[in-house]
Structure 1
Amino acid sequence: MDKMLIADDNRQITKILGEFAKKEGFEPVMAYDGEEALEKFREDSFSILLLDVMMPKKDGFQVCREIRQTSSVPIIMVTARGEDFERIMGLDIGADDYIVKPFSGGEVMARVRAVLRRIGPAERLSERKILTYDNLSVCLDDGCVTVGEREISLTKKELEILWTLLENKGKIFSRDHLLDSLWGYDYVGDNRTVDSHMKRLRSKLDVQPHPAWQIKTVWGMGYKFEENHG
């Protein structure tokens, strides 16, 4: 049975979400502060995480950042604070979605299903599971990306963006196209999310020289994987 980590210091909320998770076929695992959430995450394997922002010891943003250093597991941030800058920050640090209290358990599970739907089709972007170009190698199965001899740790979404661009070398993808195809039509964010992910992807790839290729911004149009000839 797939497991869902539910991290919130409000035990009434974790109990309610746990019951809804069971109805969706998940085994819920509870954590009541940020450190416990990280401990539970490291001890087990989860299909998706629900992280409250305002938790004791470590907040949800800190937990998300630490998890994103090693894992691309889907994460939905849950908070009572709905300021736009917080929602954007949560998405920028690698969360897949963001939901504001008060909410219904059914609404949260609908968001869970939407996130998992968006991830599913990306696994089938191509029958070929490994793409290479010059010193770049991308394996879709295990998420392994190397530039030269150096392994690059990418989040799930960064991997999907890189795979899409590399598989279609020279083709320009608009922000809206990437948002629709990789995040899904029901995604509630805007195309600034694409820019944020692209910025992080480039910074990770640029730790190793790659003079034969680049992820290029085509101003007013979008992004493409460009081969640098000569």
Structure 2
Amino acid sequence: MRLLLVEDDDHVAAALSAILARHGFQVTHARNGEEALQALLPAGAPPFGVVLLDLGLPDQDGYEVCGRIRKRTATPVIMVTARADVRSRIHGLNMGADDYVVKPYDTGELLARIHAVARRTGASEETAAASGAPATVILGPVSIELPTRRVSVDGTDVPLTRKEFDLLALLAQRPGVVFRREQIISEVWRTSWEGTGRTLEVHVASLRSKLRMPALIETVRGVGYRLVAPAS
């Protein structure tokens, strides 16, 4: 698997690259945000399986880099940082990160998280392809193109993070049907960790804002959420 390591400390990068290489990863090292974005650009190059993104970069904030990566690719992003507070984690996930690892970390745990994120990504794409579901879901002015992960409202593209798209696509499978919070967290985040509940609320709020349709996703108090198809 090709892996993009975004880390400004050459000593840390060299040590981590050596460990990753021993476990079969082809590592490309970027020292700042611009190098990372350039590494993701070349047409025809094999895609990266995962991006390991340090937040303390010299040229720009790692959160900003994550947001810019999300506009270019759906490649999974794991944030690696010393910022351990809950607000920073929520912000990172809301910016499009697929996982968040706090320094200092155990190398074995980091490797497990890399494989888990890559496995979840591959499994979700294979499931969508094999399900026989329509390639595009139309809900009033909202168009959801599943193969390209493109969402538009009245013909205007709306950029979403990976998790925002996954959440919207899940609810759009059965408009009007209530999805329990536990079910959403299990299918979108692939975890049962209770702390993810706050992250779910953040993603729902972000979707309502980006789509400019607050009534599209209805909160069913004490149960979960459902997608209310707009009237034709």
Q: Give the match's secondary structure for 1:137.
A: strand
- CA displacement at 1:229 relative to structure 2: 4.9
Gap runs ≥5 in structure 1: none
- Between 1:22-31 and 1:170-179, the stretch displaced more is 22-31
Any residues of structure 2 matched to 1:73-84 within 5 Å, and which?
Answer: 73-84=75-86
Change (3 A) 1:155 1:26: same
1:41 maps to which residue? 40
Q: Distance in 1 between matches of 2:77 and 2:93?
A: 10
Letter in 2 for 1:142: T
Question: RMSD in angstroms over aligned alpha carbons?
Answer: 2.4
User: In the TM superposition, what are the counterparts of 1:170-185 in structure 2 within 5 Å?
Assistant: 170-185=176-191
Output the amino acid matched with 2:10. R
**Which runs of structure 2 are paired with 1:37-186 in the superposition (5 Å)?**
37-43=36-42, 45-123=47-125, 124-125=127-128, 126-128=131-133, 129-185=135-191
**1:227 aligned onto 2:226:** no
Q: 1:57 to 1:165 in 2, by over 3 A?
A: same
Match of 1:3 in 2: 2
1:191 aligned counterpart, secondary structure: helix
The TM-score with structure 2 as length reference comes to 0.86
Letter in structure 2 aligned against 1:214: L
Alpha-carbon deviations, 1:43-101, whole Å to 9, x = none? 46422110111121113112112222333321111112322222222112211111111
- Change beyond 3 A, Cα 1:131–1:31: same
Aligned residues: 225
Identity %: 36
The offset of 1:182, in angstroms, is 1.2
- 1:111-145 deviation digits (Å, cap 9, x = unpaired): 11111222233221432232223332222111122
Off by >6 Å, runs of 4+ in structure 1: none
